Chains A and B, each alone.
Chain A
Amino acid sequence: MTLRLVFRSLRTKLVAVVLLTTFAALGVALAAMVAYDLRGYRQAWVGDLDTQAELLGLTSASALAFDDPKAATENLALLRLRPQVRAGAVYGRQGQLFASYAATPAERSFPALPDEPGVQVGQRQMAVFKHIVDQGEVVGTVYLRADYPLMDRVRHYAGIALAVAAVAMLVALGLSFWLQRLVTRPVLAIAEVAREVVERRDYSRRAERLTDDEVGQLAESFNRMMAEVERHAQENQQSLRSIEREVGERRIAQQEVMRLNEELERRVRERTAQLEASNRDLALATETAEKANLAKSDFLSSMSHELRTPLNAILGFGYLLGAEGDALPPAKRTDFTQHIVKAGKHLLTLIDEILDLARIESSNLMLSLEPVGLDELLQECRGMIGPTADQLGIRLLLPPEQGLQVIADRTRLKQVLLNLLSNAIKYNRPNGSVIVDCQAVAPDRLSVAVRDTGRGLREDQLAGLFQPFNRLGQEAGPVEGTGIGLVVTKRLVEAMGGAIQAHSRLGEGSVFTLELPATGAPQRTAPSRGAGTAAVALPPRGPSAGTLLYVEDNPANLQLVREIVELRGDLVQLSAPDAQLGIELARAHRPRLILMDIHLPGLSGLDALAILRADPLTAAIPVIALTANAMARDQARGLAAGFFRYVTKPVDVAQLNAAIDAALAAPAPPDQPA
């Protein structure tokens, strides 16, 4: 494992291989050399010793032959020139020691008898026995003993081998380091490149071709492979990118689709909402249109009525004046003429206001908006309306001068204020007050409140306040009015970017509050209406064909009809200013016939008819409608409701008389008193 770790690198492996190879080669070579050398050494030694022995034998042969130990000893003594030979001896034919030699006295030891010829190799010494042959005869034996330092030599050689090996290994190490660079550097370069490629996924890397050998080929192959891989990688990346792009496009497309869907849904919702809204609007518009239509009809009806009413007085009194002429007492004539003139004036006012309203409704009203000083305007109004107030004993209290200014059309604002102030004066109580108060309600908003001390208005009266021709039960009252002034006022105020509100408490009075865009100051007017007077007219007459009850809120008309009926002379006359009283009178007196105005304050003529019809006491009494509602629709409705006749204003006296005659001609109800 250690080894595997140590040899994990190619470099170390190569070094190890080189070292191992070197070591092995060196070891084998050294071993072979040493073995060879030792063998040669031994052979040389053996040969040497053998030769020595041979020579000794040769030289000693004559000594032996002539029994001359001295000569033999002298021969042996020559061995001192060979220090390696430690001892030598010559044995005679019989094996007896003939001559001997020893390098040192300590070594003077010889075998008692010679051995067979041959070499005896010991650990440290070598011995040779050799026969001495002369003339083919063995004449003796030579013995030689020599040092044989084999182990020393082996040790010596081992040392040399060790040193050589060490040096060789060092050289080999150096060489291998050099060589391994030669071999491994290109390989390692490739390996490094390969590692980097894997780590960084950079397929553009190329291995440098450092050599022309197999490693170089490897580098080239590697580069070719890398090129291939890079190409594939690029292709993959491209396809991946295109897929990503496709996915992205699809996602975008999907998002787009979803967005479009959402938008579509939103649009559908919007359209649905719009459709609903437009449906609602349509419904509303339809409703409004219907309402407008209805209102228009009502308005027309009302206008017709309102216009006919003064005309009725004019024509009626005119007719009377013409018919009766001189027969009338001068006082009455004057009275009639005054009635005619008054009705004419009223008519004129009505027509003016209707034209104003028409102009406003058709947006033809020309307004020139400008800052208007309220103080000055109020003073002007006081100048115009003051005498009337004084006449009626009404105190007109204007606010102290504050220098306030509103943005408005001066003329129209004056008209509005005059209307409100005149209302407040007209419908006040005797010796009452009209208080005008101006104040800023917002930085650019002023309010002008006109407060009166009249009788105040009921809730239902407040609701009908700004309806054309609604005089809130004042029709029969002493106060002249067209019933259109507040409508015009409201429209004018709205046209100038303002608003008008009415608050009232019964018995305390009413407050009309204007709000106008301001640069300066507010203003006010306050109308208040006292409830109209109600009265029962009971005109008796001479010969009676029965009683006639006339329910009419307009005094002029009442007087006119009273005069007409009086001229007939056959009817007792009762009159009531409103339906409620009319019904009560009808129940009490059970008249022969009833003339009923339809446009009555509070209970309308139609409602009163229904009540009369429902009451057995009055159910049979013929009721003739006498009304300014001259439209065919109204007429048909009236007849359908059960009116005996439908006579329209201005009254045609003949027609009225014909209707009365027809009613009188009808069978009287059973309980009709005479």
Chain B
Amino acid sequence: MRVGRRWLCRLAATGVLVVAVPAWGQADTARAERQIKAAFLYKFLGFVEWPPEAFERGDAPLQVGLFGADALADELALVAQRRQVNGRPVQVRKLRAGEPPTALHALFVGRAEPASGALMAQARRQPLLLLLGDSEDAIAQGAAISFAVVDDKVRFDVAPLAADQAGLKISSRLMAVARRVVMP
């Protein structure tokens, strides 16, 4: 209960979820965490720079794929609804198992799924794809940004080199608020 309230507070602070969660019912800690993560995910997109060749057009949508986190995908879709990041709409796609992470600009791999490792391994070499993880291990698996819950607080780590290898640039401002910036 106590935690739930804090999460709510956090959510309010981010300001992301105000519209997305207009009616706040019986708070569920997991959901709150999910909502925060969705907001974070959405925000991460704004701090990452894709080269122009990553898009077919100037206003081509930013394709975000989520694997093993459907609920989060829903939340994210809700967050990104009618919003744009750097002038682009955000399209959220749920990835099924075995589905290749193609035509994506960002891929979030949930930790719950068995195929997550394989997907991570598959995606880590893919250029122009921002790989996002949900656990502290994800960095080691090649994720550029990975959530980490510390003291009931959703934080994240950043591995700028991973992004660099993918041909992406992560804003220093993001790194300034990251829990850790992992340099190999």
**Taking beta carbons and an 8 Å cutoff, which residues of A are in contact with B?**
58-59, 61-68, 71, 92-94, 96, 98, 134-137, 139-140
- With CB as the reference atom, state the residue of chain B lying closest to A140: B15
Contact status A134-B14, CB under 8 Å: no
Bound state CA distance, A65 and B174, in angstroms? 10
> Contacts A66-B40, A98-B13, A135-B85; is A93 near B18 (CB within 8 Å)?
yes
Contact status A64-B13, CB under 8 Å: yes
Bound state CA distance, A93 and B12, in angstroms? 8
Mark out the residues of chain B between 6 and 36 whose CB falls within 8 Å of any chain A CB in the assembled complex. 10, 12-16, 18
Bound state CA distance, A98 and B43, in angstroms? 19
B interface secondary structure, majority: helix
Give the number of chain B interface residues (Cβ < 8 Å).
21
Contact status B15-A92, CB under 8 Å: yes
Contact status B13-A134, CB under 8 Å: no
**Taking beta carbons and an 8 Å cutoff, which residues of B are in contact with A?**
10, 12-16, 18, 40, 43, 46-47, 83-86, 156, 171, 173-174, 176-177
> Contacts A135-B46, A135-B85; is A63 near B15 (CB within 8 Å)?
no
- With CB as the reference atom, state the residue of chain B lying closest to A58: B173
A137 to chain B: which residues have CB within 8 Å? 15
Bound state CA distance, A135 and B173, in angstroms? 14
- Chain B proximity of A522: nearest CB distance (Å): 179
B85 to chain A: which residues have CB within 8 Å? 135
- Chain A proximity of B125: nearest CB distance (Å): 28
- With CB as the reference atom, state the residue of chain A lying closest to B85: A135
Contact status A134-B176, CB under 8 Å: no
B47 to chain A: which residues have CB within 8 Å? 62
> Contacts A94-B12, A98-B13; is A62 near B18 (CB within 8 Å)?
no
A67 to chain B: which residues have CB within 8 Å? 10, 13-14
Contact status A65-B176, CB under 8 Å: no
Contact status A59-B46, CB under 8 Å: no
- With CB as the reference atom, state the residue of chain B lying closest to A138: B15
Contact status B177-A71, CB under 8 Å: yes
- Chain B proximity of A299: nearest CB distance (Å): 189
- Chain B proximity of A328: nearest CB distance (Å): 226
Among A65, A135, A136, the residue within 8 A (CB) of B14 is A65
Contact status A59-B176, CB under 8 Å: yes
- With CB as the reference atom, state the residue of chain B lying closest to A71: B177
Among A58, A59, A65, A93, the residue within 8 A (CB) of B43 is A65
A sample of 27 inter-chain contacts (CB < 8 A) reads: A58-B173, A59-B173, A59-B176, A61-B173, A62-B171, A62-B176, A63-B176, A65-B14, A65-B46, A65-B177, A66-B14, A66-B177, A67-B13, A67-B14, A68-B177, A71-B176, A71-B177, A92-B13, A92-B15, A96-B13, A98-B13, A134-B46, A135-B46, A135-B84, A135-B85, A137-B15, A140-B15
Bound state CA distance, A68 and B13, in angstroms? 9
The 10 lowest CB-CB distance pairs between A and B, nearest first, are A93-B15, A67-B13, A62-B173, A66-B177, A62-B177, A68-B177, A65-B43, A71-B177, A67-B10, A67-B14
B14 to chain A: which residues have CB within 8 Å? 64-67
Bound state CA distance, A139 and B43, in angstroms? 12
> Contacts A61-B173, A92-B13; is A66 near B43 (CB within 8 Å)?
yes
Bound state CA distance, A134 and B15, in angstroms? 11
B171 to chain A: which residues have CB within 8 Å? 62
Among B83, B84, B156, B177, the residue within 8 A (CB) of A63 is B177
Bound state CA distance, A481 and B17, in angstroms? 209
Among A68, A71, A94, A136, the residue within 8 A (CB) of B15 is A94
Interface centre among A61, A135, A136 (most CB of B within 10 A): A135
* Other contacts beyond A66-B177, A93-B13: 20, CB < 8 A: A62-B47, A62-B171, A62-B174, A63-B176, A64-B13, A64-B14, A64-B15, A65-B14, A65-B43, A65-B46, A65-B177, A67-B10, A67-B14, A92-B13, A92-B15, A96-B13, A98-B13, A135-B85, A137-B15, A139-B15
- Chain B proximity of A141: nearest CB distance (Å): 12
Interface centre among A67, A71, A139 (most CB of B within 10 A): A67
- Chain A proximity of B147: nearest CB distance (Å): 11
B46 to chain A: which residues have CB within 8 Å? 65, 134-135
B176 to chain A: which residues have CB within 8 Å? 59, 62-63, 71
- Chain A proximity of B77: nearest CB distance (Å): 17
A63 to chain B: which residues have CB within 8 Å? 176-177
- With CB as the reference atom, state the residue of chain A lying closest to B36: A67
Bound state CA distance, A68 and B43, in angstroms? 13
A66 to chain B: which residues have CB within 8 Å? 14, 40, 43, 156, 177
Bound state CA distance, A63 and B47, in angstroms? 12
- Chain A proximity of B95: nearest CB distance (Å): 25
- Chain A proximity of B75: nearest CB distance (Å): 16
B12 to chain A: which residues have CB within 8 Å? 92-94
- Chain A proximity of B130: nearest CB distance (Å): 17
B18 to chain A: which residues have CB within 8 Å? 93
- Chain A proximity of B169: nearest CB distance (Å): 15
Bound state CA distance, A65 and B154, in angstroms? 12
Bound state CA distance, A67 and B18, in angstroms? 14
Interface centre among B47, B84, B86 (most CB of A within 10 A): B47
